[in-house]
Amino acid sequence: MKPSHIEHIGIAVKQLDEAILYYEKLLGTKCYAIEEVKDQKVKTAFFKVGQTKIELLESTDPEGPVGKFIEKKGEGIHHIAFAVEGLESALEEVREAGIKLIDEHPRMGAEGLHIAFIHPKSTFGVLTELCENKNI
Ligand code: CMX
């Protein structure tokens, strides 16, 4: 597996609206998409920074992954996502290397990407996402 780039960095925030205003100023660009990902219990907002995106994540349920993260650690960087080609075979490589997967198989994430997470206990504390855009 050789990721082509950092697809996005996920940042957990308490209030999407406030965080959007801050990032619009910081990056000098408008938030280009807001999307709720119901099965992940989050509302997301996206910015482009070159080839990489910033994904702001507001929890829609205190028991969801971002709700629990904020409760425990506060706001901040939640995950890093690498773009790969051939997500299924990338996951097979990860599995064979003895690294713990959260998602054994790809599932649909925000922006129609196929995604899978690797457990932070296997990645030196960084929740890691692999994603593939099959529309390019
Ligand atoms: N980064 C680093 N460590 C994290 C973490 C994160 N984002 N989230 C949880 N952890 C750590 C916890 O601190 C805890 O560590 P300790 O045992 O040392 O205290 C450990 O992982 C277990 O955490 P937990 O609070 O008990 O939470 P769960 O086990 O219920 O879930 C995780 C943790 C990572 C498996 C779960 O959050 C998950 O499945 N995440 C993947 C899906 C996701 O994050 N979706 C939101 C984004 C969706 C999107 O981008 O569209």
Mean pLDDT of the 59-78 span: 98
Q: Identify the pLDDT of residue 1.
A: 85
Q: Identify the pLDDT of residue 42.
A: 97
The answer to whether the predicted template modeling score (pTM) of the entire model surpasses 0.85 is yes
Task: Examine the pLDDT at 115 and tell me if it is beyond 90.
Answer: yes
- pLDDT category, 134, cuts 50, 70, 90? confident
5-132 maps to which CATH number?
3.10.180.10
Mutate to test the pocket of ligand 1, among 60, 72, 115 (most ligand atoms within 8 A of CB): 72
Report the nearest-CA residue for atom 40 of ligand 1.
Answer: 65
Q: Identify the pLDDT of residue 89.
A: 96
- CA of residue 85 to ligand 1 center, whole Å: 25
Residue 49 burial (CB count, 10 A):
14
Residue 112 vs residues 4, 45, 96, 133: alpha-carbon distances, Å: 18, 14, 27, 7
